Structure formats: structure tokens, C-alpha cells
Amino acid sequence: MLSPKRILILGPESTGKSTLAADLANHFVEPWVPEFAREYLEKINRPYKFEDLLEIGKGQVAMEDLLAEKANNFLFCDTDLRVIHIWSEHRFGKTDPWVLEEIDRRKYDLILLTATDLPWTPDPLREYPELEMRQYFFKKYLQLAKESGFPFRVVSGDQETRLQAAVDGLKNFS
């Protein structure tokens, strides 16, 4: 049996990653991997520490691999270890070596990078509502997408426009 195509949805906070992942999963009737950090941070009920990012990363990878077993053609991943890396560097000035090794090891067939053109949606787990910070992080993710060697596509616009752009980008895999 062939492995499903792994589609990574990457981008700053409040740029529609989870919505796009769920919309694509519904469109293609395939699973999507939610952001493990949200579940983890809600459970610890305290500010996160450097060590928490490794646990979040391991949880994200485990959930992705588990859901890949249930996918036929596509697995839609709402974030990956690149987010852990960016946050870790930004907050703590370092990244756990395991995270960096896994980033190099794990492969994606396409990265959908979400633009910062959606309005900020307040959420207690989100940290940077300022547009200039969202754009700062977008540039970081864009650089990582370019460096990954994987094909990538920036998606922007409203929910429907983003979904259509993503579906169009996946036509090569159908």
C-alpha cells in the first residue's frame, strides 16, 4: 500500500491553518492532524517552558504518524515541527536537537503556507496579535518552506478562496 501524500499547512498564528486543514479533510474525505500544542497547553494550565516544546513536538509527530495509517490518499497536517522550531528560537533562543533532526527526517509532499490576510481571532493561547509580528513569523515560515526542498504554495484570501487554491494545488496528486 502506498503512503498517503502528506500536506503540511504552515503559517503564523490566526491565519486559518486549522480551518484549512479541516476543510481539505472534508473535501477529500481524509483525516487531518490537529495541532497537538493546543491540547497540551490547555492541559498544563501554566506558561510553557523550553522542555514543553520537545513534548509538544513528540506528541505532534506521534499523532501525525498514527493518523497517516488511517489516510488513503492525503493526510492534512495542521502544523509540524517547524512551528516548534520557530517558537523555540523566538522564545528561548535555541531548539532541541531532536526537533531539528526530525525536521530533516520527515518529508512532506506539499506545504501550504497561510498568509496573514485574515483578521486576528483572539484566543488565550495566541501570543502576537500585531500584524507586524504576524508578518515577521510569516517571513520565517516562508524561509523554512523555501529551505525545505518541498513544493510549497502560499494561500490567501477568505476561507473559500484558500480552500480552492489548496484544492487546485493538490490536483497534481489526484
CATH label of the domain that carries residue 158: 3.40.50.300
* Predicted confidence (pLDDT) per residue in 92-132, tens digit: 999 999 999 999 999 999 999 999 999 877 666 666 667 78
Give the number of domains in the chain: 1
What pLDDT score does 124 carry?
62
HSE of 25, CA atoms in CB hemisphere, 13 A: 20
Sequence-ordered list of residues with C-beta below 8 angstroms from that of 44, at least 6 positions apart, any chain: 52
Expressed as residue numbers, the domain containing 52 is 5-173
